[in-house]
Structure 1
Amino acid sequence: MKREMGLARCGLACCLCAQNDVCGGCGEGDAPEKSWCENRRCSIEKNIARCADCETLCKKGMFEKAKPYAFTLFLKRYGEEELLNCLERNEQNGIVYHRDGIIGDYDGFGDAEAVIAFIKTGKR
Structure 2
Amino acid sequence: MKRELGIARCGLACCLCSENVTCNGCYSDNCPDYSRCENRKCSIEKGFLGCYACEMDCKMGLLNKIKPYGFTLFIKRYGIESLLDCLVENEKRGILYHRKGIIGDYDDFDDVEKLIEFIRTGKH
TM-score (norm 2): 0.94
Counting aligned pairs with the same residue, the percent is 61
2:11 and 2:68 in contact (8 A); partners too: yes
Whichever residue aligns with residue 69 of structure 1, its letter is: Y
Q: Counterpart of 2:77?
A: 77
- CA distance in 1: counterparts of 2:70 and 2:7, whole angstroms: 13
Q: Counterpart of 2:110?
A: 110
Off by >2 Å, runs of 4+ in structure 1: none
TM-score (norm 1): 0.94
Q: RMSD of aligned C-alpha atoms?
A: 1.2
Q: Counterpart of 1:32?
A: 32
Q: State how many pairs are aligned.
A: 124
- CA distance in 1: counterparts of 2:113 and 2:3, whole angstroms: 24
1:8-50 superposed Cα distances (whole Å, 9 cap, x missing partner)? 0111111111046310122223111222211111001111111
- CA distance in 2: counterparts of 1:33 and 1:104, whole angstroms: 20
2:6 and 2:13 in contact (8 A); partners too: yes
1:9 and 1:49 in contact (8 A); partners too: yes
1:14 and 1:20 in contact (8 A); partners too: no
1:99 and 1:105 in contact (8 A); partners too: yes
Whichever residue aligns with residue 28 of structure 1, its letter is: S
